[in-house]
């Protein structure tokens, strides 16, 4: 591994196929000494770059790419001869994630220090090695763990705690009393702990606000997308368990619980008091009604609407109200042919 | 009612069943002298807590809960004997809202004063008893009523007016010329008054922006959710009438009008110039086309798509395009069985 | 054209029908000398105002409006006599856009200068005539073109470039390395360049983050709505081509490309690596799966779900999964009548 200085702030790095194969626990087929300088997409890669084939939709590019090295899955059998050098690995996605870290100079530069423009309460406890950017506000009795990165314009309400090495990108707002774990990433303008949407109807047609006295608890290793909102509980906690990954513009209502390692794609909404199991996979624009329980390992397709609890694990659902994805596709085929058939 | 000091900032409060029953206009059945110290959810309540049974999905917990007191609806008949003390009220939701206020120490602490880090134009008029947080900006010729709470990083554009006791949570942005009523709550990162989405197509395929010269008017007692957007009118005003409650991540386009006490759940979008009646109930992820009129008391189910005006009051709609909810469920039953039947 | 001063900051303007007809390239039918002072909606216009009839849903108001002048399309034939003066033009929408500019005093007042509360890195390059508001942050090595308007609380990450005369409304966050063109408008709290949503599953059920090393490129003349999110590419760039107009709360995932002059309405989500053609029209709450290609001039109706590539240009689609809009309406008619028919 050699470092070449190209300008005053960026490092250019180069690696041989042999080095990468060892690093990625893979095998070279081709020239072990060929070098790559950066990562590129297989369809637009140039000489000197490293590409990968994960999604087989892109297989055609494997046979024409100019990438010097391509990472592929060990069990994949190319249909035609390949020009460049291959590195065969167990899991091309995991390997490219590791390879990108090698080339990603950004991840190595962790910011430190407090901006003069940050407003930090005297009673807030700030750990060592934190970064607190301009116009960020940290209110009374909050505690921020070691190495936390708080970008500009973030708001940390009273009595909030944030675990070690968590990153809050610009404009994140965390209301009072919420708890954020360690090694989390929360993207810009996400809002954690706003009031749940709870009102009691009054006889005159207006509404009485139900106080939202609880909080939000986000456990370790979670990632929360930009502009996502997670509401505080009316009583108790809205809970996001460890390892959960939530995309942009997702809405999680009060008193929900999302189980470990569940993944939720953009624009999905989960209504109040619903409990999602572990290792679920929820696609974009899904809607889930309130007071439901969703079993572990449930897979919910894009735009599906879940109106009743899912008790059996491992189902794959689609449609609104959602049914088995397979059934939905069949029924939809009948639906779309219904006119022709008559 | 007794106050017990537990630490330097939190009050612990305790109330007897008798006190609560009087306060909530209810009747005790059980031990009048039993005391509670906090509010808990019925499924996880411990001794010394107050719980409630509103949604009958949770009825099973009524017979096993360890809550010392449970609030229930007067007309509800328990199916089995109950261990703890009950308070029977006309409306359990309304009662728990009131009870939560008793225990909610947060609601009593209203902030005051201007942060040194706020940027307030000389020509802005600020009422008595306001709070204006760090990095908040108030532009020229704006006026802010008595007791308004403007949290950090809010932006109040030129010539905006905000009524008394309204709360803007961190990061709310209000564009120039908008009018916000009294006793409103606007949650973090909501955007009021951004340009409506209006473009005139040009012969070369590009678009000419139609100036959005109007504003947004939000009347008294409204609540607007986190990351919700309400666009300014192209001409005239986008109007949110008094008592409207809007959840997170709702989009309301230019020139819309939302009638009194209408409730709109998360991720719903309403297209331009549509007029929604009073006391409507619009669920999550609903889409409503532009230039429509929706009658008073209309109920629209989650993910429905409204493509034509609703003239008759009190309908309950579902589907895309939406039809009577009852019809939708029946037709959907046929749809999902269509494969099996063949 | 005469200017009349009405108060210390607003100009009141008046124009004759003759002046407006020349300016809009139209023909007067009625009184050439009648004057208007402001623009109003046809259904609520008063004497002395200019209105227009674009959408024929509003035709009834044409015959009763009190507007002194109404702009209509040349080819439109009124069904009844009209009281006021008409100006006939080729395109009423385009004409009203121009007319609104005449009356829009706001568009003429461009802000200049740097607020004392802005935090601008020494190595950032700021062009002439820029406005940089309070609590805005511009990081190292960024460059901002002439006449750019950066409202308060915006964040411009390291090594970002912004072209001339672009406007960033309050709270816009732009992550490191992104490129924004000239004459763009980005509305409040939009987030450009947050990490794409990419994770490699690990054997224990948890996920490994795939570094998102790319950026976002937004070309000239684009408009991006409030609270919209456009994620940075994992490798390479997420690209928004020139003239694209994106509404509020739209989500564009990593590695997408949106073609020239395509228009995307609110709450739509586009999954990773999808390539949208030119001059497409995508309605609200549409969902598009990842790794697809959508042909030029495609029109996608509200709430549609696109699950496969669209190869033929000019199609009009609806439903989830989407089919020809015409077919969808027919099939839906069968669907909703399915119960009655049996």
Task: State the DSSP string of C83-117.
Answer: SSEEEEES-HHHHHHHHHHHH-SGGG----EE-TT
pLDDT for residue C224 is more than 70:
yes
- Could you tell me the pLDDT band of residue C336, with boundaries at 50, 70 and 90? confident
Confidence (pLDDT) at C106: 58
Contacts of A157 (CB under 8 A, 6+ apart): A139, A142, A174, A175, A176, A177, A178, A193
**Mean of the per-residue pLDDT values of chain C:** 92
CA angle C266, C268, C271 (to 5 degrees): 150
Encoded tokens for A167: 């990153």
**Candidate from C9, C57, C249 with C-beta closest to B251:** C249
The class that CATH gives domain B2-108 is: alpha beta
For residues B257 and B239, what is the distance between their CA atoms, to the nearest angstrom?
Answer: 5
Phi then psi for C333, rounded to 5 degrees?
A: -65, -40
Q: Do C188 and B208 touch (CB under 8 A)?
A: no
Of B229, B8, A257, give the one whose Cα is nearest residue C170.
B229
Phi then psi for B327, rounded to 5 degrees?
A: -65, -40
Q: How far, CA to CA in Å, does C121 sit from each of B319, C118, C342?
A: 52, 10, 72
Encoded tokens for A337: 């042919």
> Using the 8-state DSSP alphabet, how is residue B210 labeled?
P
Domain extent listing, chain B: 2-108, 172-327
pLDDT for residue B138 is more than 70:
yes
B216 vs chain A: nearest CA distance in angstroms?
A: 22
Better pLDDT: B269 or B335:
B269
- Could you tell me the pLDDT band of residue B338, with boundaries at 50, 70 and 90? confident
Better pLDDT: C83 or A262:
A262
For residues A254 and A194, what is the distance between their CA atoms, to the nearest angstrom?
Answer: 9
- What mean pLDDT comes out for the span C149-158? 97
Phi then psi for B226, rounded to 5 degrees?
A: -60, 140
C123 vs chain A: nearest CA distance in angstroms?
A: 12
Q: CA nearest C324 in A: which residue?
A: A336
Neighbours of B268 (CB within 10 A): 27
Out of B99-108, B189-198, C6-15, give the one with best mean pLDDT. Answer: B189-198
Q: CA nearest C197 in A: which residue?
A: A247
Q: Considering Cα of B80, then B84, then B87, then B93, what sign does the dihedral take?
A: negative
Of B265, C323, C332, B336, give the one whose Cα is nearest residue A322.
B336
For residues C242 and C181, what is the distance between their CA atoms, to the nearest angstrom?
Answer: 8
For residues B214 and B237, what is the distance between their CA atoms, to the nearest angstrom?
Answer: 5
Encoded tokens for C103: 């009356």
Confidence (pLDDT) at C83: 84
- CATH topology classification for B172-327: UDP N-Acetylglucosamine Acyltransferase; domain 1 (2.160.10)
Chain C residues with CB inside 8 Å of B291's CB?
Answer: 55, 57-58
Residues of A designated catalytic: 254
Q: CA nearest B154 in A: which residue?
A: A153
pLDDT for residue B108 is more than 90:
no
- Could you tell me the pLDDT band of residue B3, with boundaries at 50, 70 and 90? very low
Q: How far, CA to CA in Å, does A65 sit from each of A26, A42, A153?
A: 20, 6, 43
- What mean pLDDT comes out for the span B138-145? 97
Confidence (pLDDT) at A110: 81
CA angle C41, C43, C49 (to 5 degrees): 45
Q: Do A267 and C267 touch (CB under 8 A)?
A: yes
**C177, C198 contact by CB (below 8 A):** no
For residues C279 and C323, what is the distance between their CA atoms, to the nearest angstrom?
Answer: 20
Q: Do A100 and C234 touch (CB under 8 A)?
A: yes
CA angle B108, B109, B115 (to 5 degrees): 155
Between the two ends of chain A, the Cα-to-Cα distance in Å is 69
Q: Do B119 and C134 touch (CB under 8 A)?
A: yes
**Candidate from A39, A103, A247 with C-beta closest to C197:** A247
pLDDT for residue C116 is more than 90:
no
Q: Taking the model in full, what pTM does it have?
A: 0.93
- What mean pLDDT comes out for the span C282-288? 98
Better pLDDT: C6 or C283:
C283
Q: How far, CA to CA in Å, does B323 sit from each of A63, B300, C85?
A: 52, 10, 42
Confidence (pLDDT) at A5: 33
Q: Do B205 and C279 touch (CB under 8 A)?
A: yes
- What mean pLDDT comes out for the span C6-32? 79
pLDDT for residue B228 is more than 60:
yes
Q: Which residues pair with A305 in a beta bridge?
A: A287
- What mean pLDDT comes out for the span A256-283? 98
For residues C187 and C172, what is the distance between their CA atoms, to the nearest angstrom?
Answer: 7
Q: CA nearest A136 in C: which residue?
A: C135
- What mean pLDDT comes out for the span B24-52? 93
Chain C residues with CB inside 8 Å of A266's CB?
Answer: 197, 229, 251, 253, 269
Confidence (pLDDT) at C102: 85
Chain C residues with CB inside 8 Å of A89's CB?
Answer: none
Q: Kind and range of the H or E element at A96?
A: helix A92-103
Encoded tokens for C275: 């390539």
B46 vs chain C: nearest CA distance in angstroms?
A: 34
Which of left, alpha, beta for A237 (phi over 0: left; psi -120 to 50: alpha)? beta
Best mutation target among A8, A135, A186 (most C Cβ atoms within 10 Å) is A135
- Could you tell me the pLDDT band of residue A323, with boundaries at 50, 70 and 90? very high
C268-278 pLDDT, tens per residue? Answer: 999 999 999 99
Encoded tokens for A157: 């309400």
**B276, B257 contact by CB (below 8 A):** yes
Confidence (pLDDT) at B148: 97
Q: Which residues pair with B330 in a beta bridge?
A: none
**A88, A72 contact by CB (below 8 A):** yes
A62 vs chain B: nearest CA distance in angstroms?
A: 36
- Could you tell me the pLDDT band of residue A42, with boundaries at 50, 70 and 90? very high
**Mean of the per-residue pLDDT values of chain B:** 92
pLDDT for residue A2 is more than 60:
no
For residues B299 and B292, what is the distance between their CA atoms, to the nearest angstrom?
Answer: 15
Q: Do A135 and B133 touch (CB under 8 A)?
A: no
B56-93 pLDDT, tens per residue? Answer: 999 999 999 999 999 999 999 999 988 889 999 999 99
**Mean of the per-residue pLDDT values of chain A:** 92
A191-234 pLDDT, tens per residue? Answer: 999 999 999 999 999 999 999 999 999 999 999 999 999 999 99
Task: State the DSSP string of A132-201.
Answer: E-TT-EE-TT-EE-TT-EE-TT-EE-TT-EE-TT-EE-TT-EE-TT-EE-SS-EE-TT-EESPPP--EEE
Catalytic residue, from B10, B187, B254, B291: name it: B254
B279-329 pLDDT, tens per residue? Answer: 999 999 999 999 999 999 999 999 999 999 999 999 999 999 999 999 999
Report the greatest alpha carbon distance in chain A.
79
Q: Do C195 and A187 touch (CB under 8 A)?
A: yes
Q: Do B247 and A251 touch (CB under 8 A)?
A: yes
| 3-state SS assignment for residue B323 | strand
A148-185 pLDDT, tens per residue? Answer: 999 999 999 999 999 999 999 999 999 999 999 999 99
**A124, A104 contact by CB (below 8 A):** no
Q: Which residues pair with C161 in a beta bridge?
A: C143, C179
Of B156, B100, B107, B148, give the one whose Cα is nearest residue B127.
B148
Residues of C designated catalytic: 254
Q: How far, CA to CA in Å, does A224 sit from each of A242, A246, A290?
A: 12, 5, 21
pLDDT for residue C183 is more than 80:
yes
């Amino acid at each position: 591994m050699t470092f070449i200085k190209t300008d005053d702030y960026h490092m250019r790095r180069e690696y041989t196929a042999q080095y990468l194969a060892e690093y990625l626990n893979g095998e070279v087929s081709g020239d072990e000494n060929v070098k790559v300088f950066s990562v590129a997409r297989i369809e637009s890669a140039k000489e000197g770059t490293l590409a990968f084939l994960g999604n087989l939709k892109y297989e055609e590019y494997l046979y024409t790419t100019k990438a010097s090295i391509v990472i592929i899955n060990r069990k994949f059998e190319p249909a035609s001869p390949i020009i460049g050098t291959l590195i065969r690995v167990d899991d091309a996605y995991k390997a490219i994630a590791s390879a990108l870290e090698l080339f990603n100079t950004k991840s190595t530069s962790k910011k430190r220090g407090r901006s003069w423009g940050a407003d930090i309460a005297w009673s807030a406890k700030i750990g060592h090695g934190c970064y607190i950017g301009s116009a960020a506000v940290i209110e009374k009795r909050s505690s921020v763990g070691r190495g936390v990165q708080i970008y500009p314009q973030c708001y940390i309400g009273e009595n909030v705690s944030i675990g070690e090495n968590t990153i809050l990108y610009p404009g994140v707002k965390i209301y009072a009393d919420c708890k954020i774990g360690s090694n989390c990433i929360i993207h810009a303008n996400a809002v954690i702990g706003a009031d749940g949407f709870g009102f009691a109807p009054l006889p005159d047609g207006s509404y009485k606000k139900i106080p939202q006295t609880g909080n939000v608890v986000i456990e370790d290793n979670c990632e929360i997308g930009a502009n996502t909102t997670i509401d505080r509980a009316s009583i108790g906690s809205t809970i996001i368990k460890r390892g959960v990954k939530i995309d942009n513009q997702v809405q999680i209502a009060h008193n929900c619980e999302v189980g470990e390692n569940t993944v939720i794609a953009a624009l999905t909404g989960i209504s109040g008091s619903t409990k999602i199991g572990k290792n679920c996979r929820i696609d974009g624009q899904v809607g889930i009604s309130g007071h439901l329980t969703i079993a572990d390992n449930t897979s919910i397709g894009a735009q599906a609407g879940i109106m009743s609890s899912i008790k059996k694990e491992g189902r794959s659902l689609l449609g609104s109200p959602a049914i088995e994805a397979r059934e939905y596709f069949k029924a939809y085929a009948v639906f779309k042919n219904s006119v022709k058939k008559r």
